[in-house]
Homo-oligomer: A and B are copies of this chain.
Amino acid sequence: MKKLINAVEKVEDEMILGLVKSAPKKLRKLDCGKVVVRADKKGNDKVALVSGGGSGHEPAHGGFVGKGMLDCAVAGAVFTSPTPDKIFEGIKAVATSQGVLCIVKNYTGDVMNFEMAVDMAADEDIKVDSVIVNDDVAVKDSLYTTGRRGVAGTILVHKISGAKAEEGASLDEVKRVAEKVIANVRSMGMAISPCTVPAAGKPGFTLADDEVEIGIGIHGEPGTTRAKIISADETAKILLDKILADIDFKGSEVVVLINGMGATPLMELYIINNFVQDYLVANGVKIYDTMVGNFMTSIEMAGFSITLLRLDDELKKLYDAPADTPALVK
């Protein structure tokens, strides 16, 4: 294992500290642990958004805390759900009389721990609700999850429901919009090289020089298919075809998100985007906007995921609304 770290047991704490120190006007860390909240916390006038999950997906989720997106992100150890008490601390720190919406990626641990934290908050008369993101079309059920996994589409849930909350909408309205995004967002990913959880010291899977994994998860889970490496265009086509078969994007306007898994050079992401754009247009999909970069990573995995979000006028307006976070400014 070759990494720029100081000690395996310090990785998560130092990472969160380094994130917060990169944007001290935007972020503040709670003393209780790896919980990041907005430094410019607004008053009681909006629904607060809380998300989180295991570390290793940087900039998710702490990098998306700020105006127009999240109010709080709670991080666990690498690829490990944060505990209910830490999530509860996060909820308490940002709760307003308008309420709190938790945005949870669909993994058994995250779902269970967020559910417990929501119960703890409700017991203290905090108005709180949650949504589960499950955008990954690669698998129906998997080792860690019942149903589909939540992956990079989660960033678009943060963006759009964050904009709705910023408007002063009610908790029910913010939840409705978050669920509309979830209903219309689909993703799939692949890897050409794996990642190594620091505490494990070795990769979650190994690949030969000519092998790739199609349909990987973001926690080092191997893919649904191991294949011989093929061209960038052929690879992107496999992911896109599965996404396009899942819901009907034809005739719709979409946001395209080409997400690097952590170690993929932007050169390759742009090459992939070149194909994706042409293929979508050829398939009657209208591209409203495109994001290319590292948004929901798997430490130093090399590979990418494609996310498509089907838009309507409401989602377009909210997608375009300002955001000011360390990892996304609009």
A residues sitting closer than 8 Å to B (CB atoms) are 2-7, 11, 14-19, 21-23, 55-56, 58-59, 63, 192-193, 209-210, 229, 231-233, 235, 258, 262-275, 277, 290-292, 294, 297, 299-300, 302-304, 326, 329-330
B5 touches A268 (CB 8 A): yes
Q: Is the CB of B229 within 8 A of A2?
A: yes
CA distance A2 to B262 in the complex (A): 16
A238 CB to closest chain B CB (Å) equals 12
**Contact at B18–A265, with CB atoms within 8 Å?**
no
User: Would you call B265 and A263 a contact (CB within 8 A)?
Assistant: yes
Nearest-CB residue, chain B, relative to A23: B290
Neighbour of A4 across the interface among B7, B232, B277, B330, CB < 8 A? B232
Most chain B CB within a 10 A radius of its CB, from A235, A269, A304: A269
Whether the Cβ atoms of B297 and A266 lie closer than 8 Å is yes
Given A21-B273, A22-B273; A267-B11 close (CB under 8 Å)? yes
In angstroms, Cα B192 to Cα A270, docked, is: 24
B231 touches A5 (CB 8 A): yes
Distance of A192 from chain B, by nearest CB (Å): 5
Complex: A266 Cα to B232 Cα, angstroms: 24
The residue from B232, B269, B300, B329 contacting A302, defined by CB atoms under 8 A apart: B300
Q: Which of B210, B265, B302 contacts A297 (CB 8 A)?
A: B265
Q: Determine chain A's interface SS by DSSP, over half rule.
A: mixed
Q: Which residues of the partner chain B approach A269 to less than 8 Å between Cβ atoms?
A: 18
Is B5 touching A274 in the complex (CB atoms < 8 A)?
Answer: no
Chain B residues closer than 8 Å to A326, beta-carbon distance: 292
Q: Are B58 and A4 in contact (CB under 8 A)?
A: no
Task: Kindly state the separation between the CA atoms of A265 and B15 in the bound complex, as whole angstroms.
Answer: 11
Minimal Cβ-Cβ distance residue in B for A231:
B6
Our pick among B7, B15, B193, B329 for the contact of A270 (Cβ within 8 Å) is B15
Contact between A290 and B5 (Cβ–Cβ < 8 Å)?
no
Question: Please, which residues of chain B bring their CB within 8 A of the CB of A4?
Answer: 192, 232, 235, 264, 268, 271-272, 303-304
Is there an interface contact between A21 and B267, defined as CB atoms closer than 8 Å?
Answer: no
- A55, B5: Cβ atoms closer than 8 Å: no
Residues of B within 8 A of A263 (CB): 262-265, 300, 302
Chain B residues with CB under 8 Å of A16's CB are: 270
Supply 19 further A-B pairs (C-beta < 8 A) apart from A22-B258, A267-B299: A2-B210, A4-B232, A4-B235, A5-B231, A5-B268, A7-B231, A11-B271, A14-B270, A14-B271, A14-B275, A15-B271, A15-B274, A18-B275, A22-B292, A56-B267, A59-B266, A262-B265, A265-B297, A329-B330
List chain B residues, Cβ under 8 A from A55.
267
Q: Closest Cβ of chain B: how far from A326's Cβ, in Å?
A: 8
- 8 closest residue pairs by CB, A with B: A18-B270, A18-B274, A263-B263, A58-B266, A18-B273, A4-B268, A329-B329, A21-B277
Q: How far is the CA of A168 from the CA of B66 in the complex (A)?
A: 32
Q: Return A306 CB to nearest CB of chain B, in Å.
A: 12
Query: Is B299 in contact with A5, judged by CB distance below 8 angstroms?
Result: no
B residues near A59, Cβ cutoff 8 Å: 266
